[in-house]
Amino acid sequence: MAPEPTLMEKLVSLCKRRGFIFQASEIYGGFESTWDYGPLGVELKRRIADAWWRDVVTGREDVVGLDSAILQAPQVWETSGHVAGFNDPLVDCKTCKGRFRQDKLDQSECPRKPSKHPGEHTDCELTEPRKFNMMFKTQVGPVEDSAATTYLRPETAQGIFTNFLNVLNTMRMKLPFGIGQIGKAFRNEIVTGNFIFRTREFELMEMEYFCRPEQGEEMLAYWVQERHDWYLKYGIKPEKMRRRAHEPDELAHYAKSCFDIEYEFPWGWDELEGIAYRTDYDLTKHAQATGKKLAWQDPDTKEWITPHVVEPAAGLTRNVLVFLLDAYAEEEVGGEKRVVLRLHPRIAPITLAVFPLVKKEGMPDVAREIIRLCLPHFPCFYDQAGAIGRRYRRQDEIGTPFCATVDGQTLEDRTITVRERDSMEQVRVPIDELISYIVERT
């Protein structure tokens, strides 16, 4: 008998089957653990990004947004220390010819081990580690000389530091304040894998919070708590999260201290988000390299201050994986297996599915009318195919929190049955009150 698929296998299969995530270049056999987000996946990702943007940027008086370029002057990466210091330890195996990241041996497979279990390197004869720079080099312009070489950004943060003065002056910001940004980042990772957990192209949600030097530690504690509570707000199970301080030898080259918010993935506890205390490292370096005064003048004391920075940095694509893993559940209902994604209603790709009970007697027309009414308020989906129970199951599997059914009574009194995904309870709601009913519950 074939073994029961693992949770990750079930999730990868659901994501493909239901249009969340596809292998990139699939018709060519796929490409190096890169992934495309399908109609439901792009919606899920956008809704997580929207929730972050609302809570971390637009919902706060002290934070503004930015969208800087992926390509920046190469000097930016020299100055930031990424050219010299954004390295991982690479080891080669003389026996199996594999290449591994020394500190992630437990997550990489030895090509000679038929079991394909990560972490089995008993016969490996590893070389001494050497530094491998993770930035993707690229050529800008048609002439292949060194002046045209730059890098795809490995973090969005540097675009924030290089725009520090522009934002300060145009928005007349006062300490403490933050600049948030969501966007693509690229890292030539030695080890990729675990689906979308670690990829070479991914998306970041980052915020640089500038404060007075003496406020640094306090702001670090504040943001660790804020970000932890943010995941709880959107339904991540508290027992699956923990905070962990970095050991001195783990710290990135720019960080004085750092906390990870970790999630208990199927392979164990691993990083979901990092909150780093970058001090004045970046502003000072860029000021030295450019001769610009990257500082803020206290209007009362006239003192010039180079702010310190606390940076909550979350992987958006890694968030997608965590929201999916955390939401996935299997249960038995009426003797049948039900797969359900218990996604928070603000995160779920579709908020409301509308079904006509039968395909006649004007029910499809009323269902379409409801969709037209609701679509400006939240994402909706129309389905008239198959038995009603099967239609519920299809929506459960993609996390739709509400299903509304148009039946015979609807034609008489303009009420519909609204069924809630988790409790499976059904209530009758007048069509006129449906939007407020749903909005109050999302």
Which CB, 151 or 402, lies closer to ligand GAP?
151
Q: Which residue is nearest to ligand GAP (CB)?
A: 315
Residues 194-233 contacting ligand GAP, CB under 6 A: 198-199, 202, 204, 206
Backbone conformation region of residue 127, classed left if phi is above 0, alpha if psi is from -120 to 50, else beta: beta
Q: Per-residue contact track with ligand GAP, 379 to 408, x per CB under 6 A?
A: ------------------------------
Residues 143-162 contacting ligand GAP, CB under 6 A: 155, 157
Place of tokens 């995160």: 347
Stretch that binds ligand GAP, among 142-150, 308-316, 351-359, 371-379 (CB under 6 A): 308-316
Residues 258-277 contacting ligand GAP, CB under 6 A: 271-274
Which CB, 202 or 323, lies closer to ligand GAP?
202
45 binds ligand GAP (CB under 6 A): no
Which CB, 21 or 398, lies closer to ligand GAP?
21
Kindly tell me which residue out of 228, 308, 318, 344 binds ligand GAP, with binding defined by CB under 6 A: 318
Kindly tell me which residue out of 176, 183, 315, 356 binds ligand GAP, with binding defined by CB under 6 A: 315
189 binds ligand GAP (CB under 6 A): yes
The least CB distance from residue 129 to ligand GAP, in Å, is 19
280 binds ligand GAP (CB under 6 A): no
Total site size for ligand GAP, rule CB under 6 A: 19
Which residues contact ligand GAP by CB under 6 A? 155, 157, 187, 189, 198-199, 202, 204, 206, 271-274, 311, 313-315, 317-318
